[in-house]
Amino acid sequence: MAKELLSIEHLSASYGEKDVLTDISLSVKAGQIICIVGESGSGKSTLLKAVHGMDRVRVTGGSIRAFGSPVSAMTDEQRRSLLGGEIGLIPQNPAGSFNPIRPFEAQLRETMQSHGRQFDPAETARAFEAVGLADARGLLRLRPYELSGGMNQRVAIAAAMLLKPRLLLCDEVTSALDVTTAGKVIRELEQMNRELGTAILMVTHHLGIARRMAEKIGIMKDGRMIELEDADWILNAPVQEYTRQLLRDVPKLAGRERSGEESAGGLDDR
């Protein structure tokens, strides 16, 4: 039986006084891919932040255990050793992920060194290539403000890949990318999952991605996980009306309504 990497039980969390997550339970095992789908403001990203510790999300109830240890009880040192090496994060906002005026090389070097790894330009070039970024040497000299949001996002994905975490948290990773690049990134994440056994907890509003990648799909609404089942079950026989509505709302292209099994974005071709 695969080892449990992340266990969330009855989690409630808030930003200041505002409750944003209520009674969330979820478990991610080694090598598993779970996608959390929901509309904007449903609490998907907050769930990832609660695990990762960004943005000071306050856990008000329940527990998060990562690699067997309770995250909320961890010291900064323990949390630091967990992040990057064991848990990686690809954030939603590529512009905010990097210091806009510091060259990528300095930032990637610092990130690697923070996690006790050596910065290897050749390995970095391979990771860049994997996400569709050519001329890694030239790119490493550039500053984030000189690149588009999509390019920054791809560098962020490459950086997360370089650290080879056992659990990767992906927050709307393809939202800033064009369809072709999004497809390439998804294939790379799948390859990472296949070859390195990296478990992926991905937050997305794109059902096509969830359908293609996920073993399990969770549906979130108003800070609650209203449905969490095997992907086939969710896509074919959802229990909740909201899930059925989400499947019905999959973008209609060229005037032709597409079913939940067939979704937009060119990401369905396995």
Partner 1 sequence: MKIKRSVSDQRKKQRYRIIAASAAAVILIAVALLAPMLSPNDPYRTNSAIIRHAPCAAYPFGTDNLGRCVLSRVLMGARTTIAVTFFLVAVSFVIGTAIGLLCGYYGGRIDDLLMRVADIMLAFPQMVIAIAVAGILGGGIAGAMTALGITMWTGFARLSRSHARTLRGMPYIQAALLSGKSGPYIMLHHILPNVLEPLLTNALTQIGTTMIGISGLSFLGLGIVPPQAEWGSMISESRAYIQIAPWAVLFPALATILTILVFNYLGDAVMEYRMAERHT
* Minimum CB distance to partner 1, residue 115 (Å): 7
Is the CB of 56 or the CB of 270 nearer to partner 1? Answer: 56
Take residue 158 and report the two structure tokens written for it.
């490459």
Is the CB of 55 or the CB of 261 nearer to partner 1? Answer: 55
Site mask for partner 1 (CB under 8 A), range 96-135, x = bound: xxxxxxx----x--xx--xx--------------------
* Minimum CB distance to partner 1, residue 144 (Å): 9
Is the CB of 154 or the CB of 212 nearer to partner 1? Answer: 154
* Minimum CB distance to partner 1, residue 77 (Å): 8
Q: How far apart are the first and last CA of the chain?
A: 26
Torsions phi, psi of 211, nearest 5? -65, -40
**CA 126, CA 114: separation in Å to the nearest integer?**
21
Is the CB of 156 or the CB of 209 nearer to partner 1? Answer: 156
Torsions phi, psi of 49, nearest 5? -65, -35
* Minimum CB distance to partner 1, residue 89 (Å): 8
Is the CB of 95 or the CB of 196 nearer to partner 1? Answer: 95
* Minimum CB distance to partner 1, residue 97 (Å): 5
Beta carbons of 16 and 174 less than 8 angstroms apart: no
How many chain residues are in contact with partner 1, going by CB under 8 A?
A: 24
Site mask for partner 1 (CB under 8 A), range 32-61, x = bound: --------------------xxxx------
Is the CB of 107 or the CB of 181 nearer to partner 1? Answer: 107
* Minimum CB distance to partner 1, residue 132 (Å): 23
Is the CB of 43 or the CB of 84 nearer to partner 1? Answer: 84
* Minimum CB distance to partner 1, residue 55 (Å): 7
How many other CB atoms are there within 10 angstroms of residue 18's CB atom?
8
Closest CA to 175 of 209, 146, 131, 224: 209
Torsions phi, psi of 77, nearest 5? -65, -45
- DSSP string covering 62-114, please? EEEEETTEEGGG--HHHHHHHBTTTEEEE-S-HHHHS-TTS-HHHHHHHHHHH
| Binding of partner 1 by 175 (CB under 8 A) | no
Residues between 203 and 262 that touch partner 1 (CB under 8 A):
none
Take residue 68 and report the two structure tokens written for it.
């067997």
Distant-in-sequence, close-in-space partners of 123: CB < 8 Å, separation ≥ 6: 162
Query: Would you report the helix, strand and coil content of the chain in percent, each value rounded to 5?
Result: 40, 25, 35
Residues between 67 and 86 that touch partner 1 (CB under 8 A):
76-77, 79-80, 83-84
Beta carbons of 37 and 218 less than 8 angstroms apart: yes
Binding site for partner 1 (CB under 8 A): 52-55, 76-77, 79-80, 83-84, 91, 93, 96-102, 107, 110-111, 114-115
